[in-house]
Structure 1
Amino acid sequence: MSTLIKFSAICLVFLYAISGVSQDFQGKAYYYSKSTLELGTWGARMNKQQKDQIAARLKNRLEKTYVLSFNKTESIYKEEEVLDAISGATDSWGKNFTAGHQYKDVKENRLVQSQEFYGKKFLIDDKLQQIEWTMTTEQKKIGNYTCYKSVGVIPTTALKWWSFSWSKLREAEKETSETTNSEDYNLTQIVAWYTPQIPVSHGPSEYWGLPGLILEVSVDNTTILCSKLIINPKEKVEIIAPSKGKQVNKDEYCDMVLKKMKEFRANRMGRRRYSG
């Protein structure tokens, strides 16, 4: 059977299944996210013990658990907050690096995400991130579900658009100082595994748009894997978009973060000159 025929068969199964899903269909998917530690040239000068100590300190940022609650068209994705293994406190500084509660409406093509940056609350209201998926017939089992592999690409700048990163500032300044065509933008590859057995177009984090729930995603140094899935839980799932914070779109929020980072850098350099 050709790839085109197999792909068409998958889509037909999805369309048939989604038409039969009741309006009150709901689910909860629990995901475990793990990222490898990247220390760059700075880390090359460290021994294993030093790297292990840093990995232990950053464990809450490298290993996270999330819950995706969903119905036919809407979903809400939240991180499960845990205590720091060393200090016993929540990682308040880490909120500058992590995504807030994320609401998606695939029917209305809408993203609403709560975000906190240096004690201020924002509400990002924008369109969903578009992903160019190339579907394959490769399959594997994740739990009791048959999953199919799909490979997508996304502009690198669209990944973790909400995060505080000095490398992001350097890249932004590099792009503005150089003349680049849209074709020259860096793209990042995404590998996703979705199951048509759960005929909704949802997934963890930014990822969506496939004919079935995404159960696993690998991108850069991070893998997100569904560890537990509950269909039609006894307690009704409440899916409500975040509503608190100053409303902005993605571009406005990113510009604000970059502006703040430039201020931090200028103040830091000023202090160094003064102390010298």
Structure 2
Amino acid sequence: MKKILLLIAVVLGATTINAQEMYGEATYMSKVKMDNSWMEGDREMTPERRKRIEENMKKMTEKTYVLKFNRTESTYKEEVALEAPGQGRGWGGMMGTMMAGEKYKNINEGMYTEQRDMMGKTFLIQDSLPQLEWKITGESRKIGNYTAMKATATMPSGEFDWTNFRRRRGGNAEEEAAQKKKDSIAQATGDLTEMFEKPDEIVVTAWFTPEIPVQHGPDIYGGLPGLILEVNAGNTTLLCSQITINPEEREEIKPAKKGDVVTQEEYDATLKQKMEEMRQRWSGGRGRGRGR
């Protein structure tokens, strides 16, 4: 461990002057390992429908993001393709709302700002950056042209972090049969709490390079002595595919200004309320359809 810390200190010391004016852009690819077991054994689901569902889930989870950073600030946002007319509505649109958003981070202030749209209304979430207790393991490997070091931490699983949801399972055949009945009811009513559960905490593994001496990383992650090139958090992987340091053309790094200012807790409470309203409307529509 002493050798690892010495290496970090040497690299940081050699590049401190250059870091004063550093500007960089890093592209990340996301991938989520989804639990699709809830579709197994559903006799009413055709192979074509299952394929459509899996393709839509893949589109929602395999995305490209760009991190733009200087020494103390960064912005992180998705490269969004234009949607066809009619897309982005209903539950799919709500799930997109839960994932999307332009995030600005200021390390010196320990704060982040994230702009999100929810059903036609724009919010500006402003809150403190999460403080992860990273443990540098001493392992290293090459990622592209950079030497990366491994660090791990644990963090709470967010209330709306649906990527880590997993299907509830029975301990034996009888309990599993009972769970499948609950699954059917959950799909009919739109109340998925009886169908899925989530862990209280997730393990985060990050690979960072002290060769780029900034404390930034994708999404909410950062605070290590080097740019984070890869993150494995629960079922989600974020992998850096391209890095450009000090290009001639640079974008100003600044937070979004438009939207109603709320804390993360306030935004989550509003989102939860909107989701419940949508579930009740959807469930009521299904109920009327069954009654005809």
Structure 1 contact 34–223 (Cα < 8 Å) conserved: yes
CA distance in 2 between counterparts of 1:158 and 1:131 reads: 18
The code of the aligned residue for 1:66 comes to Y
Question: What is residue 25 of structure 1 aligned with on the other side?
Answer: 22
Larger Rg: 2
Contact 2:217 2:227 in 1 (8 A): yes
Aligned match of 2:258: 244
CA contact (8 A) 2:60 2:96 kept: no
Superposition deviation, residue 131 in structure 1 = 1.3
1:166-195: CA deviation from partner (whole Å, max 9, x where unpaired): 999849xx99xxxxxxxxx82100111000
Distance in 1 (CA, whole Å) between partners of 2:107 and 2:14 is: 17
- Measure the CA separation in 1 of the matches of 2:14 and 2:257: 33
Cα deviations across residues 130-165 of structure 1 (Å, max 9, x unaligned)?
A: 21211111111111000001111110127749xxxx
**What do you get for the CA RMSD once the two structures are aligned?**
3.1
Amino acid in the other structure paired with 1:233: P
Q: Give 1:58 deviation, angstroms.
A: 3.2
Equivalent residue number for residue 218 of structure 2: 204
Counterpart code for 1:116? D
Distance in 1 between residues matched to 2:41 and 2:17, nearest whole Å: 55
Identity %: 39
- Could you say which residue in structure 2 is the equivalent of 1:106? 107
Q: Distance in 1 between matches of 2:243 and 2:206?
A: 17
The letter for the 1-side match of 2:97 is N
Q: Which runs of 5+ in 2 are unaligned?
A: 163-185
Contact 1:169/1:261 (8 A) holds in 2: no
2:14 and 2:272 mapped to 1: Cα distance?
44
Question: Structure 2 matches for 1:52-67, cutoff 5 A?
Answer: 52-67=51-66
Match of 1:150 in 2: 151
Number of residues paired by the alignment? 258
Counterpart of 2:135 in structure 1 is: 134
TM-score, length basis structure 2 = 0.77
**In 2 relative to 1, CA 237–60 (structure 1 residues): closer, same or farther, beyond 3 Å?**
same
Q: How does 1:184-195 map to 2 (within 5 A)?
A: 186-195=200-209
SS in structure 2 opposite 1:147?
A: strand
Give 1:76's aligned residue.
75
Structure 1 CA distance for aligned equivalents of residues 230 and 118 of structure 2:
29
Distance 1:210 1:51 in 2: 41
- What letter corresponds to residue 274 of structure 2 in structure 1? K
Does the 8 Å CA contact 2:16/2:213 hold for their aligned counterparts? no
Could you list the per-position Cα deviations for residues 230-261 of structure 1 after superposition, in whole angstroms to 9, with x for gaps in the alignment? 00011023101011110001000001111222
Q: What residue is the counterpart of 2:33 in the other structure?
A: 36
Question: Does the C-alpha gap of structure 1 residues 157 and 52 become closer, same or farther in structure 2, counting only changes over 3 Å?
Answer: same
TM-score scaled to structure 1, two decimals?
A: 0.82
Instruction: Classify the secondary structure of the residue corresponding to 2:278.
Output: helix
